[in-house]
Amino acid sequence: MSMSDSDSSSHAGEYKNFRQISRDRLLHEMLQSAKTGDSKSTWKVLIMDKLTVKVMSYSCKMADITDEGVSLVEDIYRRRQPLPSMDAIYFIQPSKENVIMFLSDMSGRKPLYRKAFVFFSSPISRELVNHIKKDTTVLPRIVALKEMNLEYFAIDSQGFITNNERALEELFGDDEDCRKGVACLNVMANRIATVFASLREFPYVRYRAAKSLDATTMTTFRDLIPTKLAAGVWDGIMKYKSLPNFPKTETCELLILDRSVDQIAPIIHEWTYDAMCHDLLNLEGNKYVHEVPSKTSGPPEKKEVLLEDHDPVWLELRHAHIADASERLHEKMTNFISKNKAAQIQHGSRDGGELSTRELQKMVQALPQYSEQIDKLSLHVEIAGKINRTIRESGLRELGQLEQDLVFGDAGMKDVIKFLTTKEDTIRENKLRLLMILVAIYPEKFEGEKGLNIMKLAKLPPEDMNAVYNLRLLGGSSDTKKSSTGAFSLKFDIHKKKRAARKERTGEEEKWQLSRFYPMIEELIEKLSKGELPKDDYPCLNDPSQTFHATSHTAAVNQPPAAHSLRSRRAPTWARPRNSDDGYSSDSILRHASSDFKKMGQRIFVFIVGGATRSELRVCHKLTTKLKREVVLGSSSLDDPPQFITKLKMLTANELSVDDLQI
């Protein structure tokens, strides 16, 4: 029996992204390592708990697991059939309950399995190891006892979550008892530390410092969330310093933030294909249900599909603007028909004129050689069509314009009042999101009677306004009277009639209408990469030496931004040149993957406590190409706007559960 950690290094050989490394470790270091001695050719049972089954499913497909010799996957807490001729692989959390279940399986005269390979998702305590060693009937049946140190969900090639779904409520709620918050941060810190153990990366740990409004203001638990988490992650990483191949010096950067850094990103309408799918369609996770023509000429059949990386069309379009995605899909359909004679005959039988994408889709579906490739294309034509119809029917473009104008200081309170009085048929959720953006920029407009008047104007029930007011709890201090701007950490002139929560991005032409908005982390990551992130605001636990950054522009940190006009922009359009390279098209992905990844700089990890957004994940992909450094986003959860609003409502409604609340 060996008590060791699996060996891994992300620096040797071919460059692999974050999720590829996680997948390789699970398949090769864990499952493949069980193919030893007389266990080489036998099929095995894989036993997991509720958390590790998700860890596995986010990184690997069932076919991958079967290929490694696993014929059966079981839940450790379910009653299981004895298979005394088979070996078992346990991938479990190192909890007392799991260890008791494992010992129960393997002890006595009739164990459930022949031999056991045991892998823990995070470090196991000495007490539990001793507990296992005491059972003399189990000991000879254990082939391996290892710590995998992999306890996170790889939700994206460059993203992970720690599965703390209630983090917002437990850390930012108005409950005075912070024990839940401390426990939540401990779990989060341990799981983040396993990311670095898994990748064999030793980070510089930076975090957003607590900001006091003045000397008389007490620093609250909420203010210290990034500080406490940074300390917890650091403690966790220190335990891994003795692992084989763990770096002795820093190899990457970690920046720890919380949701207060940007309260607008989780609420505003994000206009990319991925975000629109999850915002406007009732997806269950990444699962989309659609109807396909019956093969037996009967009624249409329902089919479930997953919108994930294995779909090349999804991979190409997910970060594209919805209008761009729709254009590209139309082009793909047109190209297919122009190269297909059967399709041309059908096309010729029509009465001329340019066909809509929907008509092209129906034509292609009628072809006998209707292939898997066209199946995927047809699926995305249907999805994009559904999204565009929703945008038209709900007047979303006008609302989206107002949202972005508010954020960039081109619209104010009067514009919102005008919208609410003239667009009374706007759905409740969209009015709520508009008011939440407004309160993030103009918190003082929601104090006392003013807030009630806005609520009446919007015709929103009190539970919705609860979400608006609870946004203040993310602001670092609930005392907004001392500084009406401090609670929302926005930089603007209090005397200006219209305030901006974002500066225009210089040097970046936005080719699509409603694509001006960018999450705050984009600015922070770029500053971090250049060595321009202020050390007072973002201290480092292991202060980097001056040689760490090739360039340092500390002088630029305190300079005020150059004056610019918000009105002097070129008017954005809903169309753009076809030859532009946005870094996300399939050609672009292949081009960058084959050349740039070999020359990648050190990784940047950004962790957001309280839920990350799809716009923030998109930015990490964009900046990976731009900075030539893989940017990995971590968070307690990945939230779409409806989920985030539900969680906000719960900050002051402890008697409700996530399932009870729907917006």
Read off the pLDDT of residues 610-628 as tens digits, 9 standing for 90 and up: 999 999 999 999 999 999 9
Strands 604-609 and 631-635: parallel
- Mean pLDDT score across all residues of the chain: 82
Residue 89 has what pLDDT? 97
pLDDT in tens, 153-167: 999 999 999 999 999
pLDDT tier at 561, thresholds 50, 70, 90: very low
Residue with tokens 């007392």: 96
Residue 548 has what pLDDT? 44
**What is the average pLDDT across 226-234?**
97
Distance CA 657, CA 453 (A): 29
pLDDT in tens, 565-615: 222 333 333 334 334 444 443 334 434 444 555 578 999 999 999 999 999
Distance CA 58, CA 51 (A): 11
Residue 650 has what pLDDT? 87
Amino acid present at 462: P
Cβ neighbors of 236 (< 8 A, separation 6 or more) are 189, 190, 192, 193, 194
Look at residue 40 and tell me whether its pLDDT is greater than 70. no
Q: Among the listed ranges 21-25, 293-297, 401-405, which one has the minimum average pLDDT value?
A: 293-297
**What is the average pLDDT across 95-107?**
97
**What is the average pLDDT across 507-515?**
70
Q: pTM for the whole thing? A: 0.85
Q: Among the listed ranges 139-143, 259-263, 368-372, 490-494, which one has the minimum average pLDDT value?
A: 490-494
pLDDT in tens, 434-477: 999 999 999 888 888 888 888 889 999 988 888 988 987 786 43
Q: Among the listed ranges 1-15, 238-252, 549-563, 621-635, which one has the minimum average pLDDT value?
A: 549-563
Instruction: Report which of residues 635 and 514 the model is more confident about.
Output: 635
CA neighbor of 264 nearest in space, from 471, 413, 443, 402: 471
pLDDT in tens, 326-376: 999 999 888 877 776 555 555 554 444 566 666 666 666 555 555 666 778
pLDDT in tens, 42-62: 899 999 999 999 999 999 999
Look at residue 12 and tell me whether its pLDDT is greater than 50. no
CA neighbor of 180 nearest in space, from 190, 192, 191, 168: 168
Inter-CA distances, 233 with 16, 238, 330, 426, 490, Å: 24, 9, 48, 44, 28
pLDDT tier at 299, thresholds 50, 70, 90: confident
Decide: 391 and 513 in contact? Cβ < 8 Å.
no
